[in-house]
Amino acid sequence: MAKVFGRGKDKSKADTGATRNLTALEQICGSDKEVYEALFPVVFLDPRKIDVTMKQAVDNAKKAEKEKDVPHARMWYEIAGGLAIYEGNAKKVIEYYGEAQRVTGEKYLILNNAEKAVAKAQEYYKKHLLS
């Protein structure tokens, strides 16, 4: 007699042999989950496709902030910060994500260790954008 609704079967997922492939960023960050979690929400996969300069993004953020447009100020500071990551400038990353944090109150994990995160992002860019 057949089992109904899988009763009696081992429901262990470990036996399926299915494993999740790591993303390129996860591979580069390795076991450093803190850096991965800091970079994942802020790193641009291909910042060459951003058609504004870091200075333009900052100018737009300041303008939006003066106009009390918090969502746009945040967006432009995040773009500036993402471009700073691409350029490898940890000081600017801290400055721009610090501004985004100030205007929104949202915490940005990249501010906890920007130098290490920027270094890992540079590894990612060298491997995936120059190949």
| Average pLDDT of the residues of the chain | 86
Domain that holds residue 72: 33-128
Q: 92-127 burial string, b = 16+ CB within 10 Å, else e?
A: bbbbbbbbbbebeeeebbbbebbebbbebbeebbee
Tell me, yes or no, whether 110 lies in a domain: yes
For residue range 48-84, what is the model confidence (pLDDT) as tens digits?
999 999 999 999 999 999 999 999 999 999 999 999 9
Query: Is 14's pLDDT higher than 60?
Result: no
pLDDT of residue 18: 58
Tell me, yes or no, whether 62 lies in a domain: yes
Tell me, yes or no, whether 86 lies in a domain: yes
Tell me, yes or no, whether 17 lies in a domain: no
Between helices 90-104 and 54-66, what is the axis angle to 10°? 20
Tell me, yes or no, whether 83 lies in a domain: yes
pLDDT class of 27 with cuts at 50, 70, 90: confident
Tell me, yes or no, whether 23 lies in a domain: no
Query: Is 30's pLDDT higher than 80?
Result: yes
> Domain tally for the chain?
1
